[in-house]
């Protein structure tokens, strides 16, 4: 009983500290990199990094609202920080040779190593094509994986912000090999359809789908179009790190088999989930055959069967390649 009270007190103190930092960040006129902005975000990260058993899904309504507001602030701050350093890197003749200028570069080295090791346990051979959804203006994970771990793989980075895509492209200007294997495209994930079937692995950035409902919609969309057996790598958060990034659980992963989950205990903030796309489950609905797609039963008919034939095999690949080239 005493230990429960102690735990509640510790968690309450943590929530109060994080709430105060949220207020401080909210009061700033801008989240562009500056000594004051950097100091507040550093203090926030240091408050959230220590291992914690706090379950952010069980916070009261006021704390939940603060958390969603803080994740949005972190998203904006992270985007501005990445844009700032992407512009700095683009000023060099060979931007990729200077990635270490980014203050959290070593974290990305560790995270990419972790993700590659987890993928290697569940993907047979080297992936041929990999997609990054939400690659951003400074796609460090993609660049590190392409440079050090997947040296023959083709990468496509997708971001709905055209300015982020333009910045990312500039980083490849002096590296012929990377430019031949890496492409950045402006697109919202919900606009990607058959092209998703071409990828062996799809990475979903932590800040694509900030709230639970949006995350569920994004993952359900990926489930609809990814190939059976392909791998979805999702970045999540655990414990107090859930104040910085959305938490992804099994509820959001309908249609996927969770193959592995890893919660770092060091300065790497994001948890990593590796999930495999499952085949549709066939069920009977009022005497008719239906299949379950992303956890939802979908009734089939002769017209649907003819349509399915038209998007299977080479026809499906033709649709995917047309989308990729558009």
Instruction: Tally Cβ neighbours within 10 Å of residue 103.
Output: 12
Determine the pLDDT at residue 315: 53
Determine the pLDDT at residue 8: 80
Determine the pLDDT at residue 284: 53
pLDDT at residue 201 tops 80? yes
Instruction: Tally Cβ neighbours within 10 Å of residue 196.
Output: 23
Q: What is the 3-state secondary structure (H, E, C) of 108-151?
A: HHHHHHHHHHHHHCCCCCCCCEEEEECCCCCCHHHHHHHHHHCC
pLDDT class for 185, splitting at 50, 70, 90? very high
User: Length of the chain, please?
Assistant: 326
Determine the pLDDT at residue 14: 95
Determine the pLDDT at residue 52: 87
Share of the chain above pLDDT 70, in %: 84
Rounded mean pLDDT, 149-168: 97
pLDDT digits 0-9 by tens, 216-273: 999 999 999 999 999 999 999 999 999 999 999 888 999 999 999 999 989 899 999 9
Q: Which region among 55-64, 130-139, 249-258, 306-315 has the lowest average model confidence (pLDDT)?
A: 306-315
pLDDT class for 322, splitting at 50, 70, 90? low
CB 150 within 8 A of CB 121: no
Cα distances (angstroms) measured from residue 100 to each of 7, 71, 108, 199, 324:
39, 26, 10, 29, 32
CB 292 within 8 A of CB 308: no
pLDDT digits 0-9 by tens, 77-92: 999 999 999 999 999 9
Rounded mean pLDDT, 51-68: 93
Share the mean pLDDT of the chain. Answer: 88
Rounded mean pLDDT, 143-159: 97
Q: What is the pTM of this model?
A: 0.86
CB 67 within 8 A of CB 59: yes
pLDDT at residue 303 tops 50? no
pLDDT at residue 297 tops 70? no
pLDDT at residue 307 tops 70? no
210, 203, 186: which is closest to 142 by C-alpha?
203
Q: Which residue has the higher pLDDT, 35 or 317?
A: 35
pLDDT digits 0-9 by tens, 15-26: 999 999 999 999
Determine the pLDDT at residue 309: 35
């Amino acid at each position: 009983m005493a230990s429960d009270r102690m735990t509640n007190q510790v968690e309450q103190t943590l929530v109060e500290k994080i709430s105060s930092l949220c207020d401080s960040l909210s009061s700033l006129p801008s989240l562009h990199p500056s000594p004051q902005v950097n100091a507040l975000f550093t203090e926030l990260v240091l408050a959230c990094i220590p291992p914690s058993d706090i379950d952010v899904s069980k916070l009261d309504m006021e704390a939940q609202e603060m958390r969603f507001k803080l994740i949005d602030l972190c998203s904006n701050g992270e985007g501005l920080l990445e844009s700032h350093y992407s512009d700095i890197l683009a000023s060099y003749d060979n931007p990729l040779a200077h990635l270490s200028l980014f203050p959290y570069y070593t974290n990305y080295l560790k995270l990419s190593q972790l993700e590659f090791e987890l993928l290697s346990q569940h993907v047979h051979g080297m992936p041929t094509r990999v997609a990054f959804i939400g690659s951003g203006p400074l796609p460090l994970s993609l660049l590190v994986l392409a440079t050090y771990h997947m040296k023959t793989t083709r990468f496509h980075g997708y971001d709905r912000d055209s300015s982020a895509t333009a910045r990312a492209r500039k980083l490849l200007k002096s590296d012929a090999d990377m430019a031949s294997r890496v492409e950045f495209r402006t697109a919202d994930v919900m606009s990607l359809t058959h092209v998703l079937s071409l990828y062996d692995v799809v990475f979903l950035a932590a800040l694509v789908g900030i709230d639970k409902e949006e995350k569920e919609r994004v993952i359900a969309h990926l489930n609809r179009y990814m190939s059976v057996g392909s791998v979805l790598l999702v970045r999540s958060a655990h414990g107090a790190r859930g104040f910085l990034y959305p938490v992804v659980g099994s509820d959001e992963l309908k249609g996927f088999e969770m193959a592995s989950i890893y919660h770092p205990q060091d300065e790497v903030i994001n948890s990593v989930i590796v999930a495999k796309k499952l085949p549709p489950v066939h069920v009977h609905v009022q005497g008719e055959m239906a299949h379950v797609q992303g956890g939802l039963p979908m009734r089939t008919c002769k017209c649907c069967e003819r349509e399915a034939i038209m998007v299977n095999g080479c026809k499906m690949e033709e649709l995917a390649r047309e989308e990729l080239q558009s």
